[in-house]
Amino acid sequence: MNAAIRVSDLTVAYQHVLALENVNLVIPQGSRCAIVGPNGAGKSTLFKSLLGFEKYNSGKIELLGQSGNLSQIIASRIAYIPQASQVNWQFPATVYDIVLTGRYPHIKNWLKRPTSKDKDIVISSLEKMNLLDLKDRQISELSGGQRQRVFIARALAQEAELYLMDEPLAGIDIKTEEIIMSILKEFQEQGKTSVVIHHDLNTLESYFDHLVWLNKTCVADGPLAETLTLDNYQKAYQSPAQHFFKGKGEGGWRNA
């Protein structure tokens, strides 16, 4: 199995407070992976460590088969979609401007001027996300769902191999959610990998095929059919299953 992400014994601490401890996980290439766990479980910290935004105290990270000189891999082969709350939506930029930044790692001329190919890719990305009519609109004028689609379009324009998405489905409309999940399936058909921090446990079976349960450490990881269990839920969330299943029934979830 070729791994898009391989993490070994990863520990991250802030002023001696552990955010992640001895995390070990493997996410295979070509998968649609959800990372789930309670608030404060270290999900965003894991992403920041993978992307080099946070220094880790110990451990090893491999991305797309490489562990050295990750900065170049991150710039050109990995796309990151941050939480909406982490973005300055008042920044004076148009939808087109934001999506164009996804091409910057591929622009080789020293003036960083986009070629006609770059512009064509941007337009194609806008079309896929139903944003072409909004390309000249300021991002501050967009709805929450439209803003999220802008960052997915930017990731599309980057033509990455690995996509890290921090809660891309939070607070958006159904139409945008359907568009995003359609794009993730398209990525998978192309052999690309998407890793999504996700909170709606009810949609795991519909949206993903690989799962990571996280709570400071990796409780379990693997194919969703094997890891979507009540036992893993209880270990990760440290609460009885009835708190989640109250009034819903257990559906496809099984006992370990």
pLDDT tens-digit profile of 217-251? 999 999 999 999 999 999 999 887 655 544 344 44
Averaged over 100-121, what is the pLDDT?
Answer: 87
Structure tokens at 62: 């491999």
Q: Which of 77-86, 90-99, 120-129 has the lowest mean pLDDT?
A: 77-86
| Mean pLDDT score across all residues of the chain | 89
How far apart, in whole angstroms, are the C-alpha atoms of residue 95 and residue 26?
35
| Cβ-based neighbour number of residue 61 at 10 Å | 19
Q: Which domains does the chain carry? A: 3-237 (3.40.50.300)
**Helices and strands, number each (H, E), in the chain:** 10, 9
Averaged over 85-104, what is the pLDDT?
Answer: 86
pLDDT tens-digit profile of 37-73? 999 999 999 999 999 999 999 999 999 998 877 888 8
What sections of 173-219 are H helices per DSSP? 174-189, 204-207
Q: What is the pLDDT of residue 241?
A: 65
State the pTM of this model: 0.89
How far apart, in whole angstroms, are the C-alpha atoms of residue 106 and residue 52?
20
pLDDT at 6 over 80: yes
* Angle (CA) 157 203 205, round 5°: 95
pLDDT tens-digit profile of 112-126? 788 999 999 999 999
pLDDT at 256 over 50: no
